[in-house]
Amino acid sequence: MRLRLGVIGADDSLAIIESAVQEFPEIECLPIVYWREEDIPDLLLPHLDEVDMWLFSGQVPHAMASQTGKIQVPTAYVPHIGASLYRTLLHLSHQLGIRVDEVSFDTFTAEELGHFLQEAGIAEGFRWLKHYEGAILASELADFHEKLWQEGKTKAAVTCLRTAEQELLRRGVPVHRVVPTKAGVLSVIHMLLRTHEMLHFKDTQIAVQMMEIDPFRELAGGNFSTDEWQNAEIKTMEKLLRYAKYLQGSLKTAGPGRYVIFTTRGKVQEVTSDYATIPDLEELFGIRPDLVTCGIGIGKTAYEAEIHGGTALLHAKERGAGNWMVFLDDKSVLGPLGREEQIAYRYDSEKLQELSQLTSLSVMTLSKLESILKKRGKQEINAHELASHMQILPRSARRILIELESKGIAQVVGEESPNPRGRPRKVYRISL
């Protein structure tokens, strides 16, 4: 089970990371050096399909890569706190005689830097720090450090960014770079290997696709013989056997028009694009998607996966023929696959169980509502919007909102008019 690891870093950091990776024969390394942070997306994109994970030499290259939105595998970066920072401060103090309060820092949070100095037994605290989230321009960091140095407030700058170090050197500012230590890199690599092992285990988890198919809708009219019925079912079985082989799984019948395919989680995630779409059954196997309702169950055992598959099928049937839902081993439900209104909700939330006891609404309904609000990015919604997301009638959605309002969980905050002659729609703000 080899790990294909992509490593992106500045020249000096990359050398340290590569030396650490060499100690792991199970890792195949793809090293990529960058000289400017803005080049990282172009360096990264051609290799997206070549690695299982990405390791970055620091926070900024990691943030630059994440902003592309193209990475679909686990990522990590090497932290600059701990031994990396201690080595730099030791050099400043013992070899140059510069105190911590005479130095400007960047990258770290005030909390982690203060905690580190306290643990290191350094009495004087820091005075100058520029913390940032995500990516930042090297020139912005250089401006921060240079201004303090020119004003005589500092004697040196400590930066975590290679390009900021180069810019400060160009400006004549005394600068010291915090580079990763081999021990720090080894710690991150061990974490990545554990993650890789866990993901491999997840990929081999059992998955069950429980499908209901109505092959008789394809028969012309309402007058057909039992032979035609049987031929339609045989043809469906032949198509599903090819689909099961494609999934590297096995097929069994579970009653008239109901079929069960046993396969693995990894294969299901592959054919559904990580639970986002429905497999192209018609193009590949000649099965009309509108005739298929499917529930996918993931479990630690075949029994658990089958139970989850049945539950997922019930959720799919609630939304009508042609819908696919997924029930994962963490008790969360996803779906419908391939639809814009796709949501995810859970069964095991203690908070929602308490709200369910307070209201007449089920945990499932409340969980769906919570997921819809999270997906919309706001707490306000009207009955028609709720009905559209939940695939229920507007009057049913109104009953849900009125029930929440009666218990103080929702309040009317305004009205909307869909058109000049239509009835205004109440807008509710919900606080779960």
The kind and range of the H/E element at 344 are: strand 343-346
Mean pLDDT across the stretch 87-110? Answer: 91
Most confident of the following: 53-62, 249-258, 341-350: 53-62
Q: What backbone phi and psi angles, to 5 degrees, belong to 319?
A: -95, -5
Confidence of residue 302 (pLDDT cuts 50, 70, 90): confident
Note the pLDDT tens digit of each residue in 382-410.
Answer: 888 888 888 788 888 889 998 888 888 88
Domains delineated in the chain: 3-78+183-200 (3.40.50.1860), 83-179 (3.40.50.10660), 204-339 (3.30.70.270), 350-430 (1.10.10.10)
Beta strand 292-299 with 324-327: parallel, antiparallel or unpaired?
Answer: parallel
pLDDT at 229 over 80: no
Note the pLDDT tens digit of each residue in 411-432.
Answer: 888 887 766 666 788 888 888 7
> Which of the residue ranges 60-64, 164-168, 291-295, 338-342 would you say has the lowest mean pLDDT?
338-342
Confidence of residue 217 (pLDDT cuts 50, 70, 90): low
Q: For residue 19, what are the contacts with CB-CB under 8 A and spacing of at least 6?
A: 182
* Cα 68 from Cα 73, distance rounded (Å): 13
Measured in whole angstroms, the distance separating CA 70 from the mean position of its chain's CA atoms is: 12
39, 63 Cβ separation under 8 angstroms: no
pLDDT at 123: 76
> Between residues 305 and 422, which one has the greater pLDDT?
305
Average pLDDT, the chain: 87
pLDDT at 46: 92
* Cα 71 from Cα 44, distance rounded (Å): 9
pLDDT at 199 over 80: no
pTM summary value:
0.56
DSSP, residue by residue, 5-64: EEEEE-HHHHHHHHHHHTT-TTEEEEEEE-SSGGGHHHHHGGGGGG-SEEEESSHHHHHH
